[in-house]
Structure 1
Amino acid sequence: MTTTLITGANRSLGLETARRLIEAGHTVYAGMRDTASGDDARALGAHVVQLDVTDQASVDAAVASLPELDVLVNNAGVLGSAFGVDDLDAAAIDDVLATNVTGVVRVTQAALPLLRASSNPVVVNVASGVGFTRWLTTPGHDEYPVAAVPYAASKAALIAMTVQYAKNLPGFRVNASDPGYTATAFNGFGGHQTVTEGTDATVALATIGADGPTGEFHDRNGRIAY
Structure 2
Amino acid sequence: MTQIDRLPTEITTPESHQTALVTGGNSGIGFAVARQLLDRGATVWIGARDIDKGRRAAAELGPSVRVVHLDVTDATSVAAAAIQIGELDILINNAGVNPGGEDITGTDIEQLRVAYETNVFGLIAVTQAMLPALRRSAHPRIVNVSSGTGSLTWNSGANPQFDWERVQGGGIAYRSSKTAVNAVTLLTAQALGADVKVNALAPGRRQTNLVAGATGGGDPAEAATGVLRLALLPDNGPTGALWSWDGTLVPW
TM superposition score normalised by structure 2: 0.85
**Aligned pair 1:41/2:58, yes or no?**
yes
Kept after mapping to 2: 8 A contact 1:42/1:48? no
Where do 5+ consecutive residues of structure 1 fail to align?
Answer: none
Structure 2: distance between partners of 1:143 and 1:114: 42
Pick one of 78, 84, 87 that aligns with 1:59. Answer: 78
Name the counterpart of 2:111. 92
Name the counterpart of 1:141. 161
Name the counterpart of 2:221. 196
Structure 1: distance between partners of 2:47 and 2:163: 28
Name the counterpart of 2:150. 131
Q: Moved runs in structure 1, 4+ residues, more than 4 A?
A: none
Query: What SS is found at the alignment partner of 1:97?
Result: helix
What letter matches 2:24 in structure 1?
Answer: G
Name the counterpart of 2:11. none
What letter matches 2:223 in structure 1?
Answer: G
**Aligned pair 1:210/2:207, yes or no?**
no
Name the counterpart of 1:21. 37
Alignment of 1:2-21 (within 5 A): 2-21=18-37
The answer to which structure, 1 or 2, has the higher relative contact order (CA under 8 A, 6+ apart) is: 2
What letter matches 2:34 in structure 1?
Answer: A
Structure 2: distance between partners of 1:168 and 1:191: 38
Going from structure 1 to structure 2, the CA distance change for 1:143 and 1:71 (only over 3 Å counts) comes to farther
Going from structure 1 to structure 2, the CA distance change for 1:178 and 1:195 (only over 3 Å counts) comes to same
Aligned residues between the structures: 226
Where do 5+ consecutive residues of structure 2 fail to align?
Answer: 1-16
Kept after mapping to 1: 8 A contact 2:148/2:250? no
Name the counterpart of 1:156. 179
Structure 1: distance between partners of 2:192 and 2:163: 31
- 1:120-163, CA deviations, whole angstroms, 9 ceiling, x for partnerless residues? 11000000001012222336434724411011110001011101
Name the counterpart of 2:125. 106
Q: Identity of aligned pairs, percent? A: 38
Taking only aligned residues, the RMSD between alpha carbons, in angstroms, comes to 1.6
Kept after mapping to 2: 8 A contact 1:216/1:223? no
Pick one of 63, 69, 83 that aligns with 1:50. Answer: 69
